[in-house]
Structure 1
Amino acid sequence: MRALELGTIGEMRERLNALVLAGRKTATTGLLAEYVEETEGLEFEGERLALLGNDGDCVATIEITGVELTSFGGVTWEHATAEGEGDRSLEEWRTGHRRFWEGIGTPVDEDTPLVCLRFRLSPPCAGR
């Protein structure tokens, strides 16, 4: 089973995982360039992924319910709200995500290719 690590290690990952476990976060967005760099194929509808915590242990299993390739400027409000992070507008979502990606050394513009994932909680990780 492949894994999904949300955000960066530390408080951000804990917060995002808590949103998933509470059912508030049912989507996430990644840079297509990261898939290319890691030579990793895109997720697919029905695929189950281990959601990893800061220690690398599985905290939940999610099932992919949708995969969409779009540009940074093409992300919809519907997707942004499904991320469950409390953004009050699409512009607020864009500002926060632009700041995050710039902070990890990958500035984005309106044409930057993204992967938008939708998911739901699935039966728990093995051994949980």
Structure 2
Amino acid sequence: MKHIFIILFLILASCKSEPKTEVKTGNGIDQSVSELWESYTSSNPELKTEKIPEAWFFHNNREDANRLAALVVKGKKKASSGLYAWYKEANADLPKVGTKHIITDFDGKAQAIIEIKKVDTIPFNKISEAFAEMDMGTNIKPLKKWKKAHWDFFSSALQESGEKPTEEMLIVCESFETIWTEK
């Protein structure tokens, strides 16, 4: 039961445009995930012994998942956001600097490898324009777009547990770098 909660937590752990959903096929992860990791470690032999990272896609629908994966590949999307309360509820560790993840499209096809560079916990009303731009992958009114998308998503998610969002709710802000893309 605890594993189901953790998987559910990972699905919901990010904003409307960014829930993380682990990608698996009938007998494991999509072959492209292993192939992308193999390509990366072949070019970085010092990492050959590293375990393959988790693979997942952003959001919960094909259009957004594929759009966000493309922004990661282009190096435009460089951040992700989630509610601190979700980590606390799940008794889960916050993301760690140096952790790698494989980002896929909605169908589970590997697109990029990212590495977490910075993790902060910031109140919703203190999110900066710069962070919003990295998270949204755009420089056109990023903070306005970030606040609307995240407020709507957090409102919906919190409503399920009878809670309401506040301007002071803590947001776990992950900054990452795209370190490898599908060739």
Q: TM-score range by the shorter chain?
A: 0.7 to 0.9
1:42-81, aligned counterparts within 5 Å? 42-81=94-133
Across the aligned residues of Structure 1 and Structure 2, the Cα RMSD in angstroms comes to 2.4
CA deviation digits over 1:84-124, x for unaligned, max 9? 14551523321222123334455522111111011111235
Q: Is the 8 A contact 2:158 2:165 kept in 1?
A: no
**Alignment partner, residue 110 of structure 1:** 167
Which has a greater percent of helix?
Answer: 2
1:1-128, aligned counterparts within 5 Å? 1-83=53-135, 84-106=137-159, 107-124=164-181
Larger radius of gyration: 2
User: Aligned letter for 1:122?
Assistant: I
CA gap of 1:42–1:85, structure 2 versus 1, over 3 A, is same
Q: Which has the higher contact order (CA 8 A, sep 6+)?
A: 1
Structure 1: runs of 5+ lacking an equivalent: none
CA gap of 1:39–1:113, structure 2 versus 1, over 3 A, is same
Q: When the two structures are superposed, what TM-score results if normalisation uses the length of structure 1? A: 0.80
Return 100-109 or 78-87, whichever deviates more.
100-109
Structure 2: runs of 5+ lacking an equivalent: 1-52
Q: Is the 8 A contact 1:87 1:93 kept in 2?
A: no
- How many residues end up aligned between the 2 structures? 126
Return 60-69 or 33-42, whichever deviates more.
33-42
Structure 1 CA distance for aligned equivalents of residues 56 and 102 of structure 2: 6
Structure 2 CA distance for aligned equivalents of residues 40 and 21 of structure 1: 28
% identity of equivalent residues: 28
